[in-house]
Amino acid sequence: MDRIRAELQEAPLALGMMRLLDYPELCPAPALAAWIEARLDQGLKVFDHANIYGGGECERLFGLALQAAPALKDHVRLISKCDIVPPAEDGSSDFVKHYNTEAAYVMACVDDSLRRLQVDSIDCFLLHRPDPLMPVENTARALEDLLMAGKIKSIGVSNFLPEHWRLLADHLNAPLLCNQIELSLLANQPLFDGTMDALRRDQVQAMAWSPLGGGGLSRVPALGDALAAMSAQTGVSETGLALSWLKRIPGRPLPVLGSLRESRINDALAGGGHEMPRTDWYALLEAARGHCVA
Question: Is 23 noted as a catalytic residue in this protein?
Answer: no
CB atoms within 10 A of CB 192: 11
CA 98 to chain centre: 21
- Average of per-residue pLDDT across 74-91: 94
pLDDT confidence tier of residue 61, bands split at 50, 70 and 90: very high
**Mind listing the pLDDT tens digit for each residue in 1-45?**
788 899 999 999 999 999 999 999 999 999 999 999 999 999 999
CB atoms within 10 A of CB 288: 22
Separation in Å, CA 227 to CA 26, 78, 248: 31, 33, 16
Question: Rounded mean pLDDT of the chain?
Answer: 96
Give percent above pLDDT 70 in the chain.
Answer: 100
- In the three-class reduction of DSSP (H, G, I as helix; E, B as strand; rest coil), residue 46 is classed as strand
- Record the pTM: 0.96
Separation between Cα atoms, residue 2 and residue 286, nearest integer Å: 37
CB atoms within 10 A of CB 43: 12
pLDDT at position 91 is 80
pLDDT confidence tier of residue 236, bands split at 50, 70 and 90: very high
- In the three-class reduction of DSSP (H, G, I as helix; E, B as strand; rest coil), residue 59 is classed as helix
Whether 88 has a pLDDT exceeding 90, the answer reads: no
Separation between Cα atoms, residue 186 and residue 287, nearest integer Å: 10
Cβ 130 vs Cβ 102: under 8 Å? no
Burial of 205 (0-12, 13-18, 19+ CB in 10 A): buried
pLDDT confidence tier of residue 92, bands split at 50, 70 and 90: confident
Separation between Cα atoms, residue 21 and residue 24, nearest integer Å: 6
Cβ 136 vs Cβ 171: under 8 Å? yes
pLDDT at position 94 is 84
Pick the catalytic residue from 53, 99, 105, 282.
53
Tell how many helices (H) and how many strands (E) occur in the chain. 11, 10
Lowest mean pLDDT among 59-73, 79-93, 144-158, 197-211: 79-93
Closest CA to 49 of 71, 24, 19, 75: 19
* Strand 98-99 with 84-85, pairing: antiparallel
Whether 194 has a pLDDT exceeding 90, the answer reads: yes
**Mind listing the pLDDT tens digit for each residue in 241-294?**
999 999 999 999 999 999 999 999 999 998 888 999 999 999 999 999 999 999
